[in-house]
Structure 1
Amino acid sequence: MSTTRYLLILPLMAVVAYMAVVGLLYFSQRTLLFPGAGAAPVAEQARWGESVHVKTPDGEMLQGLYSQGDSDKPCVLLFFGNGDRVDNYAFLAQALAAHRIGLLAISYRGYPGSTGSPSEQGLLTDGIAAFNWLSAHDGSEIVVMGRSLGTGVAVNTAAQRPAAGVILVSPYLSVLSVAQRHYPYLPVQLLLKDPFRSDLNIGKVRQPKLFLHGRLDDSIPLSSGQALYEIAPEPKRMVIYDGAGHNDIFNDGMVGDVIRFVEALEGNRPRSRHESEGEDHSGGSASNP
């Protein structure tokens, strides 16, 4: 093959290879976004809580683990990250139970113990169904808590249901913005099926909000969590943990921050201006994002 002909074919080969990568990512994106789906079921006798089942309005059955607290204490509704499981939260359930606070952790559709296949709309539907179930079965005020991917579910749920408060652990402005950061060479906005636009929903979340983020997070950068914090309405507070990344953010200090936030909400006690507007730190540093 002549050099001239090779030079003409080379750009075409590059285009074909690029399109192949784009096609592969497009068709495998939900496998990448929901890596915890389809794993082994949750045991009926798990390490914590009672196994419960929540029916969604579109006919799916979700498994969850539920630890009931005192009726005069708020109950936490947890939406976990994309590769997580409900039975991984015995440490949180036990810490909350020591303060007589309940916990419901729900397994999204397609995740261990639940029917269906995950999608953004599906997970948002699951969040509302879980809140409705807990409201009917517990009777306590509900604090919605999301971690990583689950922060999008938490924001949407709190925007549509009367949660007493919202806790967002490693939140993002949107999955779209995070994907654009990780894949800057791809037309992500055209390809992404599940953008999880928390930036479009956070303005509806008027309840007290606690943002928790690790400064060393390389999965969902702190800048993304700060951007969501900046556009969130008051009351709000952000805690930044200097030594924490994405998967090591949970420790005794962070769980303590969660418990203090939940207990401050008891009886819908109004928060002070200092609590509402301040930014604090626990094992980290505070700065105005």
Structure 2
Amino acid sequence: MSGWHWLAILLVSGLVFSIWAFQRWGIYEFPKTEETPAAYGLSEVVVKELISEDGARIQVWVSSPDEGAPTILSFYGNAAKIGGSMERFKPLMAKGYGIVVMQYRGASGDKNRSSERGFAMDARALYDQMDTLIGRVVPSERRILHGLSLGSAVGARLASEREFGAVILEASMPRACRYYTKRYRGFPFCYLMWSERYDTVDLIDRVTAPKLFVHGAKDKSLPFEWAVQLAEIAPDPKRIVVFPDGGHADLAKHGLIDLMSEFIEDVIPSAE
């Protein structure tokens, strides 16, 4: 082969290695310091542990519901902390809602490697073991799925595989690769990435529960138009709310928690 052929092989090999390395080490930005509910004043929260599909032990923060109240399974965003993610739901805990937040692999002292595949296994295990974790039976129609940003993709996949009474996707995106293309000035990640893609757009049609899409009009990370596009192809029933002054992860300051409560009360029948 000529020198040009070798050069082409080296360039392609370098590109493949770079994408592989990015998928493995360049995506997840979770804090590494271990957290406790006490640091956030969450006296009602208990830390438990699930056994994932591959045997990994994953930490779960649990605030049990009042008798007959719905329980929210929440998946937080990239670079976020589990404590702060749980803390924002204190008003719902005060109303008697159950709140369950799974710690991600590779976050807050966890020694496992973060990955889309791992998160999916952990999320299914969380759903399947939730009654044991809470200490009482929570029927599927009283389980609420919530996901923020990256967590909206983790949650949407779970909602396409398990039954929920309602689904709330906050700051959602059709595909994660679109975010990286935007972040890195047009680099064609969607043509090059083979993992960590979070292709919610390809499975949203299997999410049949009532859906609420919420987004901030001033979100600089994930444009609200992306959530609108995702909502448009999602099956009914669905609703989309855009907060005019909302950013990416600050919607709790703009009425998100009250909106979630109203939506849940509207679509989930009261327990008799």
More divergent stretch after superposition (248-257 vs 183-192): 183-192
Of 137, 155, 165, 1:139 maps to 137
Mapping for residues 21-170 of structure 1, pairs under 5 Å: 24=18, 26-36=20-30, 39-43=32-36, 45-47=38-40, 48=42, 49-136=45-132, 137=134, 138-140=136-138, 141-170=142-171
5+ long unaligned stretches in structure 2: 1-9
Pick the structure with greater CA Rg: 1
Q: Is the 8 A contact 1:214 1:222 kept in 2?
A: yes
Mapping for residues 199-238 of structure 1, pairs under 5 Å: 199-238=201-240
TM-score of the superposition, structure 1-length normalised?
0.80
User: CA-atom RMSD, angstroms?
Assistant: 2.5
- Call closer, same or farther: CA 1:51–1:233 in 2, change over 3 Å: same
Per-residue CA distance 1:261-283 (angstroms, 9 max, x = gap): 222233389xxxxxxxxxxxxxx
How far apart are the structure 2 equivalents of 1:160 and 1:210? 18
How far apart are the structure 1 equivalents of 2:57 and 2:111? 6
How far apart are the structure 2 equivalents of 1:237 and 1:129? 28
Quote the offset at 1:190 in angstroms.
Answer: 1.5
Per-residue CA distance 1:133-162 (angstroms, 9 max, x = gap): 224434232101000001111111111111
Q: Is the 8 A contact 1:70 1:102 kept in 2?
A: yes
Percent identity reads: 25
For 2:4, the equivalent position in structure 1 comes to: none
Per-residue CA distance 1:158-207 (angstroms, 9 max, x = gap): 11111111010000011122223333134542235211110111101110
Once superposed, which parts of structure 1, at least 4 consecutive aligned residues long, lie more than 4 Å away?
Answer: 16-26
Quote the offset at 1:252 in angstroms.
Answer: 5.5
User: How many aligned positions are there?
Assistant: 254
- Call closer, same or farther: CA 1:120–1:90 in 2, change over 3 Å: closer
TM-score of the superposition, structure 2-length normalised?
0.84
How far apart are the structure 2 equivalents of 1:185 and 1:22? 14
